[in-house]
Amino acid sequence: MLANKKQIKRAIISVYYKDGLEKLVRLIHSQGVMLYSTGGTFQFIKDLGLPCIKVESLTGYPEILGGRVKTLHPAIFGGLLARTDLDSDVKTMEEHQLPFFDLMICNLYPFEEYLEKKAEEGELIEKIDIGGVTLIRAAAKNFNDVVCISQPSEYKKLYQILEKSNGTTSKEERKSFAATAFETIANYDRLIANYFLNIESTPLRYGENPHQRGWFHGDFDGLFEKLNGKEVSYNNILDIDAACRLIKDFSEPTFAIMKHNNSCGLASRKTVIQAYEAALACDPQSAFGGVLIANRELDIATAEAMNSLFFEIVIAPDYSKAALELLQSKKNRIILKKKQNLSQTTKMRTALNGHLIQEEDKSIETRNDWKLATDKGLNDDTKSDLEFGIIAVKHLKSNGIALVKNQQLIGMGCGQVSRIDALEHAIKKAIEFGFDLNGSIMASDAFFPFADCVEIAHKAGIIAVAQPGGSVKDQDSIDYCNANKIAMVLTGVRHFNH
């Protein structure tokens, strides 16, 4: 037998979920494994007609405190933590006549289930597992000697291993089970910590697609007061997040319409109804089923204009009484009153077998930050459009291009693998919805490696360009702009958004 192969001789089993356990227990019994167990699991095994030893026979103590204390005893944890290759550990176990455990099967009290069904706090607290977490942690730590099964989904995997190897496991297999065990208790403790920090783990109808489960870990109610509508979905939350990140960068009355985390409509005007009408005009087709957001109170005039459009969500800092009553006429329409702006300093996402964490992109480049790279200068209106366009493109998925005229997004291209494709898409959309591109500006989230984009923009009627610069061929684009009387500013800041 290979040195890292170990035969299972004794197992301690203490589980909440017993579905699928019978087949595994019968197998290890048939392989000569001595079974130890607690409470309901002990009775489950006895009802199968199999021999089993109560842990009380080892500890000398019964379960106490209504089951809160069952396994927390040196006789149990000595058997899980003792190292068989360390003479002092072996000697200690022999002196105290304690058994070594080779297999530990445990799953935890269903804290998450009781959290999801909004159980009373007293009932929920009793579903915080103590002994189970400790058993799992001890067995996983000692994976050199012990197999640690922490999830019901692993019953079948262990069965297949033991059936094939006649009751033995390899070190690699034990370490793999240990990894799952530590992940299990980390997730379990995170749920509990979030509860005590008032950070809810809210189950969603489903994830990004109906076949995926989804949850939201956060304090949604701390950011919004929900005034109407169905429960928000996973995709709703992504759009709400994108909408709030975009709108907080504007100070003038502004309205945005979001689809798939991108703005398909965006405009700033003197009044919110003017901003809404201009935002809708950008792409009324894509606005269907979108998420709408404003940075001013919605009045009845705006609500009347909006009400003929099918949209899923509207977000605003407040609503007039008449506007709210009208918007509430559609029972499934989600109406959110935004209490505060997002204040995160970092963004995190999963990647590979870990996480990527970065600072928030809080940079907004204004006319005081740019470097004019061309001979042609800028008037105040063009500067304002460039400032607007830089914010707009910052919040589009890369590669992103924003076309702006008179503080209105008139064309956008986003999520393209080619910057030329993003620009051509933006021009196509602008023309499709009747905009005159003459006198408009273009903002790009990243530099132009060649002069082709400014050439396409010039032929479409664009008069000014904002880009971060940084290409070894920046001068090619600058030279084209100078030759064709186009203004270009270099912001010095790239805004990739993936």
Options 9, 175, 260, 330, the catalytic residue? 260
Options 127, 141, 171, 330, the catalytic residue? 141
d(C-alpha 202, C-alpha 18), whole Å: 26
Q: Specify whether 362 is catalytic.
A: no
Q: Specify whether 331 is catalytic.
A: no
Structure tokens at 323: 């506007």
Cα 132 versus chain centre, distance: 28
Question: What positions carry a catalytic annotation?
Answer: 141, 260
